[in-house]
Amino acid sequence: MMLRRILVVDDSGASRELLRHALKSTCEEVLEAGDGWEALEKIATARPDLVLLDLEMPRMDGYEVLRQLRRDPRFAATRVVAVTARAMQGDRDRALAAGFDGYITKPVSTSELREYVQGLKEE
């Protein structure tokens, strides 16, 4: 799988910057969105190959963004990975059961993130 474009969605500018910096060598373009509404707009226009989606955001959380994507046939197969500080027992299972394709906990290790994305490219 070729990853040309990755969208990073997080209400924290610092988190977006960290992820963008970590990913810039793994794809052609890293896009950013600061909330769920902006994420849906960017997904519709930019058609990213991968979305790294924070679960806890104001206005629209990551679960709702995922629900809307999965209802739209154009984006039902878009790869969406949860990126969250939630690391309690059951959080990962809940996210995967909701339809996320993967689960990464914060604080994100840049080397682990690169390895994870590289693994997706090789699938």
Kindly report each contact of residues 83-87 with a partner whose C-beta sits within 8 Å and lies 24 or more positions away, as own/partner.
83/10, 83/15, 83/19, 83/52, 83/53, 83/54, 83/55, 83/108, 84/54, 84/55, 84/56, 85/56, 86/55, 86/56
**pLDDT digit string (tens) for 20-77?**
999 988 889 999 999 999 999 999 999 999 999 999 998 899 999 999 999 999 998 8
Domains in the chain, CATH or no CATH each:
5-122 (3.40.50.2300)
In this predicted structure, the answer to whether residue 78 has a pLDDT above a threshold of 90 is yes
